[in-house]
């Protein structure tokens, strides 16, 4: 579970849009899983040494609120640079509608800071928004698929349903089924009318009135799991992590692969550029060398990329 400090941040900005504790366990599982994957999308360097033990909080503030204030503090700042960071509330706008004041509201530190003089703002997106809307949307979809998967697995347990006209007939059917389950290759079913009965009526085969689960039509769990992977891959593309798009049977043209790569890098490039623009201002103000880079793709799981039979198609991963 998220700790109390992290929950307070989520609740304060109403993301998720209802209280965290009222969310389903499936949603909470996926939210935490996606949040941890997001942590690996960006790699920060040059941060003050004392911030290392608070980097999870540093990233959570950026993901959740979209921005934070960096300022000097003798008491709470880094031992070497004296720099501290905190979530803040922005106020006061200049001629270009940019914030001029950062309000820090911490039980141990409350202050109004002038941006550009007393502090600088590090923001993730140009619009000062965070990324939890992406996580919330994806976690909601995956949680719903989880529910369907469980229902599908339960339904798959209903294999055969037959009817019986009497308790005796029911017991006969059970014995036949038990023998089949025990592996007997041949089971003889004897259904003979009572010869002393005044009315000799033909009796139907109980298996004529039966429900047999056709797994080829009713088992949809495989499709649901495939859909879940598609949603996860879309999330990876949103945050710029590599996605395996080949299944061994399909091929992708070089142009298609390049287009997909550009789409996957579009948002993360925006985040990196915005953060580094802010870091430039912060570094100039405080003499630091902070920067951020996107996660470096590993090519270990990829083929050499050579064309197949010269037709322009790349080999699958």
Q: Which residues have a Cβ under 8 Å from the Cβ of 123 and sit 6 or more positions away?
A: 66, 67, 274, 275, 278
> Average pLDDT, stretch 4-8?
58
Helix (H, G, I), strand (E, B) or coil at 19: coil
Here the tokens at position 9 are 């941040």
Cα–Cα distance, 83 to 119 (Å, whole number): 10
Q: Which residue has the tokens 């400090």?
A: 5
What is the tens place of the pLDDT at every residue in 15-42? 555 566 677 888 888 988 888 888 888 8
Angle at 224 between CA 222 and CA 230, to 5 degrees: 105
- Does 314 have pLDDT greater than 50? no
d(CA 240, CA 235): 9
* The domain defined by 1-159+213-317 carries CATH number 2.40.340.10: no
Which residues contact residue 122 at a Cβ distance below 8 angstroms, ignoring those fewer than 6 apart? 62, 67, 68, 69, 70, 85, 275, 278, 279, 282
CB proximity list for 250: less than 8 A, separation 6 or greater: 316
Please state the pTM of the whole predicted model: 0.68
Place 201 in a pLDDT band, splitting at 50, 70 and 90. very low
pLDDT of 20 reads 64
Could you tell me the two tokens for 210? 């039966």
Q: Are 122 and 67 contacting, i.e. CB atoms less than 8 angstroms apart?
A: yes
Instruction: Give yes or no for a contact between 301 and 244, defined as CB atoms under 8 angstroms apart.
Output: yes
Q: Are 284 and 213 in contact (CB under 8 A)?
A: no
Annotated domain spans of the chain? 1-159+213-317
Q: What are the tens digits of pLDDT across the range 125-177? A: 998 888 888 888 899 999 989 888 887 777 766 666 777 777 877 787 788 77
pLDDT attached to residue 317: 28
Which pLDDT score, from 0 to 100, does residue 306 have?
40
* % of residues, the chain, pLDDT over 90: 27
State the Cα–Cα distance between residues 169 and 163, nearest whole angstrom. Answer: 9
Query: Does the pLDDT of residue 313 top 50, yes or no?
Result: no
- Residue 9's pLDDT is 57
The per-residue pLDDT for 177 is 76
Q: What whole-number distance in Å separates Cα of residue 189 and Cα of residue 177?
A: 11
Phi and psi at residue 71, in whole multiples of 5°?
A: -155, 170
What does the block give as tokens for 83?
A: 């720099």
């Amino acid at each position: 579970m998220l700790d109390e400090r992290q929950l307070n941040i989520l609740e304060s900005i109403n993301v998720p849009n209802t209280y965290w504790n009222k969310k389903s366990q499936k949603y909470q599982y996926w939210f935490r899983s996606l949040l941890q994957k997001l942590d690996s999308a960006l790699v920060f360097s040059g941060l003050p040494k004392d911030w290392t033990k608070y980097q999870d909080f540093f990233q959570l503030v950026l993901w959740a609120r979209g921005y934070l204030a960096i300022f000097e503090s003798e008491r709470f700042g880094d031992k070497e640079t004296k720099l501290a960071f905190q979530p803040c509330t922005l106020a006061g706008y200049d001629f270009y509608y940019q914030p001029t004041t950062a309000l820090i509201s911490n039980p141990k530190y409350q202050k109004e800071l002038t941006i550009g003089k007393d502090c600088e703002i590090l923001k993730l997106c140009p619009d000062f928004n965070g990324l939890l809307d992406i996580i919330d949307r994806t976690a909601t979809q995956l949680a719903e698929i989880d529910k369907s998967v469980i229902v599908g697995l339960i339904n798959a347990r209903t294999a055969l349903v037959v009817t019986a006209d009497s308790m005796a007939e029911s017991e006969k059917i059970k014995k036949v089924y038990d023998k089949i389950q025990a592996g007997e290759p041949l089971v003889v079913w004897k259904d003979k009318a009572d010869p002393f009965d005044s009315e000799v009526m033909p009796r139907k085969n109980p298996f004529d009135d039966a429900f047999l689960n056709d797994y080829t039509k009713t088992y949809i769990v495989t499709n649901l799991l495939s859909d879940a992977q598609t949603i996860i891959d879309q999330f990876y593309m949103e945050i710029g992590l590599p996605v395996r798009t080949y299944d061994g049977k399909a091929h992708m043209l070089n142009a298609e692969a390049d287009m997909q790569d550009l789409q996957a890098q579009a948002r993360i490039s925006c985040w990196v550029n915005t953060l580094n623009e802010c870091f430039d201002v912060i570094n100039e103000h405080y003499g630091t060398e902070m920067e951020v880079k996107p996660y470096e793709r590993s090519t270990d799981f990829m083929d050499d990329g050579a064309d197949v039979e010269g037709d322009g198609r790349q080999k699958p991963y």
